[in-house]
Amino acid sequence: MTATFTATVLGSPRIGPNRELKKAVEAYWAGRLDRAGLEAAGAELRRAQWSQLREAGLDSIPVGTFSYYDHVLDTAVMLGALPDRVAGIADPLDRYFAAARGTDTVAPLEMTKWFDTNYHYLVPEITPSTVFALDAAKVLDELAQARTLGVPARPVVLGPVTFLLLSKAVGSDAPLLDRVDELVPLYVELFGQLAAAGAQWVQVDEPALVADRTPEEIAVARRVYDRLSAVPERPAILLASYFGGLGDALPALAATGVEGLAVDLVAGSDALASVPALTRKHVVAGVVDGRNVWRTDLDAALGTLGTLLGSAGTLAVSTSCSLLHVPYTLDAETGFDAALRSWLAFGSEKVHEVVTLATALTRGRDAVEDEFARARAAASARRADARLYDGTVRARLDALTGSKPTRSPAAQRRRAQSALRLPALPTTTIGSYPQTAQIRIARAALRTGEIDETEYRARMRAEIADVIALQEELGLDVLVHGEPERNDMVQYFAEQLDGFCVTDNGWVQSYGSRCVRPPILYGDVRRPDPMTVDWIAYAQSLTDRPVKGMLTGPVTILAWSFVRDDQPLAESANQVALAIQDETVDLQGAGIRIIQVDEPALRELLPLRAVDRPAYLDWAVGAFRLATSGVADSTQIHTHLCYSEFGEVIDAIAELDADVTSIEAARSHMEVLDDLNAVGFDLGVGPGVYDIHSPRVPSVAEIEMSLRKALEAVPAERLWVNPDCGLKTRGRTEVEASLHNLVEAAQLVRADL
Ligand code: GLN
Ligand code: ZN
């Protein structure tokens, strides 16, 4: 058998420690960098990363996880599965970016969440006429580069089962997995090429197997890996899963001839000992969390590894998933106090933990006792830190009864809210207005100290005044302040809440060249001061129309942060909910009569396995209700949700019990209204009547038609008129034109009521 290895990671971040790849790719798009420059930037990032991983002590290094945009798109290229509409673009790199981002004439692929992470992949489109064909140039080139540098390279590719399960069938209803037999020969060919290029191992990622799969799907996976492992000329196969346990798929895959299995022992809890076939495998144990930022409990991890020794043929230590989901290194952070810093591990620190554990496994714990002692000391200091326990917050939560917080019956609230004197079909927007150049300049100037806080606030107030004037002029009914002071709807709140810290350089790829810096929730959450009241009250002081206060909900704040691992997420959610509740009460006290609590991430945190969903939805709904049930009946609560696949969460949306729910529907053609009716939803609803993801200005006729269609499903008293999401990524001119048409369409429809 091929030589095994002892220490690895399943993948690495690729955007660059200082977002070098983002900058290079964007410069290439803008025509400021030529292709050779872009390729050189990519090659240098790979070289630097591999050399770090090798120096850190990994003896097998993933290669091929680099990407100019997205690894699922890379796989589509590798398998010849780009859509026909880009086929005419002769240059491969231009074709690739056209599929990713679209061009003037070509629509891009759709983007969606990579499992339950905040990374978005491009969804390959497969039609009955797609003819798969292998183009392994990318992975072969990267392998060649790695081998030239003497890197112990393990090429990584996405497996055929996951590729098909993540793709979208276009022009046919047949399940795409039926076409797996067309892909198997391509993987056989690929493995031959990789072996010829010197690869000892190939990592084949099949994360889709950790979600609920039918027995038939598991049987397909088994058949695929039986066939692939029967190929004589190939590297040893490491079949990798992550983001959960394999469940029933584990014995099936272990029964195939693959040499290795990588399993996620952080998110999953597969009973490896009950699978005898594993004693013939190289088991790559994901004991270091690849998705969160906490320092590993080395004693516990070594304990887990110890129990695996008897169940595995050979054993290697790894991260639970690719390090794509965490920042590069703590070395780039200056803002943490020493204690906080000692509790954390980002990418490079996690690599070090993997190596430490592998050393302990092969040479005994004594060889690395210092590291263990440091981890132990940090863990006990963390447990004892006063910031983790706020007695007041805990007492408030303890005082809550078991059942979900409830407001008065909806009809009673509706009567109390009639004082708002809104017309039928009220018009509004989702919160943000275009982030203008002035806003960005002001933020940058504040950061560099060129202007002070007072000047910054004055400039933001000017933006607010501008947006209020615009909305009055357009004739919107419920106004917003436009969110100019927020660069990010989660970070803005995290910066003001005790229990959260933010990073200087903790960038994580969200999609393509877009990165986010998730805050870290480490302690009990408390709101020392009001967070939004000044801005919203100022906006309200400029107009007689109601201004809607804008808050981010507890689920979304957690979904877009790194969260505590020392208490259930539900508890953290309730703590955030209390802080938001305090804010709603203060907004109400300042004369704000409508408050929107956004929960765009409600769907995103939905567990991958159906058995885990009811418990999640229960606490998620509970936290939202806790956040929104502290106000009087006369205060109207709105929420906003922005994804179009509601199926699984439709009951939960109704249970949120918000007076008004605005929801993305421009692209899903109002189907959402029928779905809501089906669960007896009878509150206010604003199905987005135009798609803000495109610069196109919708015509009056188009919006009018959407509204008339909506009125077939929802009575006029409950229907609101709004775009399908916030406007911050749009330009001012198109926003003005679109909203003008929106108001006019509402007026036309209103006249007929
Ligand atoms: N209020 C936010 C905005 O308008 C909502 C954003 C979102 O749905 N992601 O920008
Ligand atoms: Zn939205």
> Which tokens go with 395?
């007492």
Residue 431 CA to ligand 1 center (angstroms) comes to 6
Measuring CA to CA, how many Å separate 475 from each of 384, 423, 427, 435, 746?
56, 12, 8, 21, 11
Pure H helices in 149-179: 160-166
The closest residue, in CA terms, to atom 6 on ligand 1 is 726
Which residue, among 593, 516, 527, has the nearest Cα to 562 in the 3D structure? 516
Q: For ligand 1, is residue 550 a contact (CB within 6 Å)?
A: yes
pLDDT tens column, 122-174: 999 999 999 999 999 999 999 999 999 999 999 999 999 999 999 999 999 99
Give the DSSP letter of residue 319: E
The closest residue, in CA terms, to atom 1 on ligand 1 is 431
Residue 600 CA: nearest ligand 1 atom is 8
Q: For ligand 1, is residue 602 a contact (CB within 6 Å)?
A: no
Residue 547 CA to ligand 2 center (angstroms) comes to 19
**Global confidence as pTM:** 0.96
3-state secondary structure of 156: strand
> Which tokens go with 700?
């009056």
The residues facing 636 across adjacent strands are 594
The closest residue, in CA terms, to atom 9 on ligand 1 is 600
Q: For ligand 1, is residue 484 a contact (CB within 6 Å)?
A: no
Q: For ligand 1, is residue 60 a contact (CB within 6 Å)?
A: no
Strands 514-516 and 508-511: antiparallel
Q: How far apart are CA 35 and CA 176, in angstroms?
A: 35
Ligand nearest to C-alpha 726: 1
Residue 689 CA to ligand 2 center (angstroms) comes to 13
Q: For ligand 1, is residue 431 a contact (CB within 6 Å)?
A: yes
Residue pointed to by tokens 């910066």: 495
The closest residue, in CA terms, to atom 3 on ligand 1 is 726
The closest residue, in CA terms, to atom 10 on ligand 1 is 726
Spatial contact of 320 and 291, defined as CB atoms under 8 Å apart: yes
Low-confidence ranges of the chain (pLDDT < 70): 1, 644, 666-669
Ligand nearest to C-alpha 643: 2
Cβ count within 10 A of residue 702: 16
- Per-residue confidence (pLDDT) for residue 1, from 0 to 100: 57
Residue 432 CA: nearest ligand 1 atom is 4
- Per-residue confidence (pLDDT) for residue 444, from 0 to 100: 93
- Per-residue confidence (pLDDT) for residue 235, from 0 to 100: 98
Spatial contact of 668 and 710, defined as CB atoms under 8 Å apart: no
- Per-residue confidence (pLDDT) for residue 291, from 0 to 100: 97
Residue 725 CA: nearest ligand 1 atom is 8
Q: For ligand 1, is residue 597 a contact (CB within 6 Å)?
A: no
Residue 101 CA to ligand 2 center (angstroms) comes to 20
- Per-residue confidence (pLDDT) for residue 648, from 0 to 100: 83
Residue 74 CA to ligand 2 center (angstroms) comes to 28
Is residue 481 part of the annotated active site? The answer reads no
- Per-residue confidence (pLDDT) for residue 461, from 0 to 100: 98
> Which tokens go with 679?
């669960």
Q: How far apart are CA 15 and CA 515, in angstroms?
A: 8
Q: For ligand 1, is residue 663 a contact (CB within 6 Å)?
A: no
Q: For ligand 1, is residue 480 a contact (CB within 6 Å)?
A: no
Spatial contact of 628 and 597, defined as CB atoms under 8 Å apart: yes
Residue 644 CA to ligand 1 center (angstroms) comes to 15
Residue 642 CA: nearest ligand 1 atom is 8
